[in-house]
Chain A
Amino acid sequence: MPKLDQNSITSLILKSGVILSLSMIIIGVVLVFIRGGGDSMSLSQVANYHNPGYTITSKSLLPANFLQGLINGDGLYFISVGLWVLIFTPLTVLIDALITFGHERNKLYTLLDAVVLFNLLIAIFVIPRFIG
């Protein structure tokens, strides 16, 4: 079996992640301007990032609503998905590296990678339940 070239795969994942994310973000910004806002907020409210109390924050943009937001053509959800693609890009790299270490039967680094992955997953899925 040909040896997996870890660096080339990592490079490809990182590049595709950035391109996909930026495309979603740019489409989202255009949609917010064309439709005059998003997530039932006006353009002025969406763009009011000088006043934390009077604008939209990530807290009200729940990942559970992302799909519906995309279907509705809501620009804010396109931006949100674009930003989450950024968060998930390093996760994909870690999963890919985990597979590579597993193939190489490198027990120690499979374990270390799993710990890093565990930390990232805790940050994404567990800690949010306790903050807010």
Chain B
Amino acid sequence: MDPVSILLSFISVVVAGFLAGLLGSLTGLGGGTVLVPVLTLFLGIPIVFATGASLISTIATSAGSASGYTKSKIANIRIAIGLEVATTTGAIVGSLTLIAVYKTGFIWIIYVIFGLVLLISLVPTINRARFELPKPMKPDWTTRIFNLYGTYYDQKLRKQVDYHAVRWWLGEIVMFFAGFISGLLGIGSGALKVLGMDWAMNLPMKVTTTSSNFMIGITAATGSSIYWFAGYIQPFLAAATAIGVLAGAYLGSKILVRITNVRIRWIFFWVLAFLGVDMIFSGIANKQGLPSTGTISYIGFAVSIVISIVLLLLLYAKVRRDRLHA
């Protein structure tokens, strides 16, 4: 390859990273969840390098956005670090599982799990932010022992919000799985972390999303070092994605505050649903020993478009129905 086409290929990965960072930030799913499918499905990059580049880029976006959140004191660093006990343990187990899966040659499983995780993550992501503050729950024994109290100034509600978390143990269990998925798939698994703090521990949405963002970096760093020595990080590729994803996520965070039209987010959700279905399709094609390019991939694209539209319509109908009942 001549230097010009190498430069063009490099730029195309930066652009892919940029779009992934932008979409990941606008939907709240994080850059990695979008980056891995884009790199494997559209740019034909082996999933082993895609996950490696994605995980290490995730640290950059987490650190980049968390530096703003932590300064405004919304993120609860104390609660976050307490939960990192489980996410880092999960990340170690997840990355070691990935190594075992690669060694045994069951790569197709990673595609399928990735697709499923992406589709399942969409549900809490779509439902997110319907309520700013959770229904109050009585403090339990973990609230006192682990000092799960906090306070922050909510600009939207224009008041100081005092909050407390409950069920620390349940949060830790969910966080272990979040870490495991992060290490296994090379993503930040922000959706699962949000589930742990929002559903399990009953924390306010703002505290949950910002603390989760801060935690993603620590979890991803744990997996990344294992990936490094396993040889899953292609430095030139990771350089391109780190630059692209960070720039995209930065722009996304700037646009996010200006997007008032909720419907536009459904287009983004559709893109994610499409990527999820196509990852599952690619995994199944891979299992059958079918090539990932040519006619098979076009059929896959067409089938995935149809299935993702149907899935999204069903989800949209459910959300509408829930809102009417609420």
Chain B: residues with CB nearer than 8 A to chain A? Answer: 1, 3, 6-7, 9-10, 44-46, 48-49, 52, 56, 59-60, 63-64, 66-68, 70-71, 73, 75, 77-78, 81-82, 84-85, 88-89, 91-92, 95-96, 99, 145-147, 214, 217-218, 220-240, 242-243, 246
**Which DSSP category, helix, strand, loop or mixed, fits chain B's interface?**
helix
* Complex contacts, B59 vs chain A, CB 8 Å: 86-87, 89-90
The residue on B at minimum CB distance from A127 is B226
Q: A86-B56, A86-B59 are in contact. Are A132 and B229 (CB under 8 A)?
A: yes
- Given the interface pairs A59-B230, A87-B59, A119-B222, the reply to whether A79 lies near B99 with Cβ below 8 Å is no
Q: Which of A49, A113, A124 is close to B225, meaning CB atoms less than 8 Å apart?
A: A124
| Chain A hits for B71, CB < 8 A | 7-8, 11
A50 and B45 within 8 A (CB): yes
The answer to whether A18 and B52 touch across the interface, beta carbons within 8 angstroms, is: no
Q: Are A29 and B56 in contact (CB under 8 A)?
A: no
Can you list, as one digit per residue, whether each of A91-121 has a CB less than 8 Å from chain B (1) or not (0)? 1011001000000001011001101100110
B3 CB to closest chain A CB (Å) equals: 6
Residues of A within 8 A of B (CB-CB), count: 66
Check A64 for interface membership: any CB of B closer than 8 A.
Answer: no
Interface residues of A in 30-64 (CB under 8 A from B): 32-33, 36, 43-44, 46-52, 55-61
Write the residues of chain A forming the contact surface with B, with a CB cutoff of 8 angstroms: 6-8, 10-12, 14-15, 17-18, 21-22, 25-26, 28-29, 32-33, 36, 43-44, 46-52, 55-61, 76, 79-80, 82-84, 86-91, 93-94, 97, 106, 108-109, 112-113, 115-116, 119-120, 122-124, 127-128, 131-132
Q: Is the Cβ of B67 less than 8 Å from the Cβ of A112?
A: no
**With A52-B49, A90-B63 as contacts: A80 and B235 at CB distance below 8 Å:** yes
* Total inter-chain residue pairs, C-beta < 8 Å: 210
Residues of B within 8 A of A132 (CB): 229-230
Question: Quick check: A87 and B229 within 8 Å, CB to CB?
Answer: no
Q: Are B44 and A22 interface neighbours, CB within 8 A?
A: no
